[in-house]
Structure 1
């Protein structure tokens, strides 16, 4: 089996990553940063996001494992004290693969510009560089509303506990093939009106955002911040690809939600 390790870059994570690499090489596994079967992320959720985007071209071949060296992460279910147990599990035990849905974002431009396709593990956000964001929101090819406000967030189920939750969005179980559209400070008065609630769209529904004004947009894909000009439309839907996690033990999602937001770890 071939493996790679992605580290947060701090001293603790680097030491842990080097130790795991040494242990796994002792078990005669092959270190391969280009085409790993397993990528071990050492750090936090942000570290795993970087690893995901690094290997987004081989999601059907690379499975991810998270070791958290800081705060509890939704993608990292191992702690530093367990690395010997994890190394043995990787070397000796067949693992279960759990697949979760991703968000596909396609940005099209006016004047025949090249369209750009992105995959997001957590979310995509759209904001106007200047002033209020004004967007026509189409669902399944029909105009749903004209949004006016600070911005829009489109998240995956696994990303529903991140920025989406801070915006008042729902927490979705990561096994659900859906995306969620959440508003940022929408303008609602006698003239302008939006739904004012998060929308959860199944995998056979497409959400299309069409700019009303000719302005530049700040679009984020997970941790990546992009500036787009001459935007004709932003298409969002559940991607055909999925992210794969290697599981060696149960990973109860609702227990993780409770530990992260309600009570201390047991």
Structure 2
């Protein structure tokens, strides 16, 4: 990180956290980093709090490609995106002084709604019924009508988004070095009228996925992107593809993705 010295800390301004962040600010200054108050002036953005804070930091700073993201987890939080722990300053000092880090690029999903606005996701996009009723979605892969889904909803995840919500519905855990999308069902209804694959499936990063929501009164789905709900009143069509944009994150050399998975789930 020798050519990156402007650091912005992203965290909730809670009393117990503010005091600990103040000590991190002093630590950064001791090692010749400049702590900035505006993320636009930063080339390192550090989230503090866990994976939720990391996702918020990336989203609130608009998925910047010109900076490096790093996550510091609070003890007791899930931290698949975070390589540092708040109370372990030795690791931070080692990373700052010995360059004991690697830079890992994570893919984003482009989400286009009704052929208009494009949104980005780092983790996953979920589409769920907005009322107490299943809804129907025609699923297209490239130009192929693949299936007609009826159920509670679907999850479209990046490789890094495969290890939380997606895993809870029996999706696969995907190596983040694979450029792909994973599609998972939420409570699909399978009968003589509606038939789906019944399992998660993985699409190459060059594929396009299109969901056409059948307009039968349930055309106001709840759309979640990472850990935020999207406020859109009417949706007919949603298109997904792997984005050309990628974010750069810190990875300690002795803390691979699969080591994190093992610590978290096994």
**TM-score scaled to structure 2, two decimals?**
0.90
Counterpart pick for 1:233 among 233, 237, 247: 237
**Correspondence for 1:48:** 54
Cα distance in 1, alignment partners of residues 17 and 122 from structure 2: 22
Q: Hey, which bits of structure 1, 4+ residues long, moved more than 6 A?
A: none
Cα distance in 2, alignment partners of residues 37 and 169 from structure 1: 35
Instruction: Encode CA deviations 1:39-74: one digit per residue, 9 max, x unaligned.
Output: 11111100001100022252x211111111132410
Cα distance in 2, alignment partners of residues 7 and 57 from structure 1: 17
Counterpart pick for 2:265 among 258, 261, 264: 261
Cα distance in 2, alignment partners of residues 47 and 144 from structure 1: 36
Give the gaps of 5 or more residues in structure 2. none
Give the number of aligned pairs: 256
Cα distance in 2, alignment partners of residues 231 and 29 from structure 1: 46
Once the two structures are superposed, the pairs formed by residues 56-75 of structure 1 within 5 Å of their partners are 56-58=62-64, 60-69=65-74, 70-75=76-81
**Correspondence for 1:165:** 167
Instruction: Encode CA deviations 1:224-249: one digit per residue, 9 max, x unaligned.
Output: 11232332310011111112112343
Cα distance in 2, alignment partners of residues 102 and 205 from structure 1: 14
**Correspondence for 2:147:** 145
1:81 and 2:87 correspond = yes
**Correspondence for 2:200:** 198
1:121 and 2:122 correspond = yes
Please state how far the C-alpha of 1:95 moved relative to its aligned partner: 4.4
Cα distance in 2, alignment partners of residues 90 and 12 from structure 1: 25
Q: Secondary structure at the match of 2:171?
A: coil
**Correspondence for 1:112:** none
Cα distance in 2, alignment partners of residues 64 and 144 from structure 1: 37
Q: Are the counterparts in 1 of residues 162 and 173 from structure 2 also a CA contact under 8 Å?
A: yes
Q: Secondary structure at the match of 2:41?
A: coil
Please state how far the C-alpha of 1:150 moved relative to its aligned partner: 0.4
> Relative to structure 2, which stretch is displaced further, 62-71 or 245-254?
245-254
For the aligned residue pairs, the C-alpha RMSD in angstroms reads 1.8
Q: Are the counterparts in 1 of residues 84 and 91 from structure 2 also a CA contact under 8 Å?
A: no
**Correspondence for 1:5:** 9
**Correspondence for 1:37:** 43
Q: Secondary structure at the match of 2:128?
A: strand
**Correspondence for 1:104:** 110
**TM-score scaled to structure 1, two decimals?**
0.90
Q: Are the counterparts in 2 of residues 66 and 76 from structure 1 also a CA contact under 8 Å?
A: yes
Cα distance in 1, alignment partners of residues 41 and 200 from structure 2: 38
Counterpart pick for 1:182 among 159, 181, 184: 184
Cα distance in 2, alignment partners of residues 36 and 248 from structure 1: 21
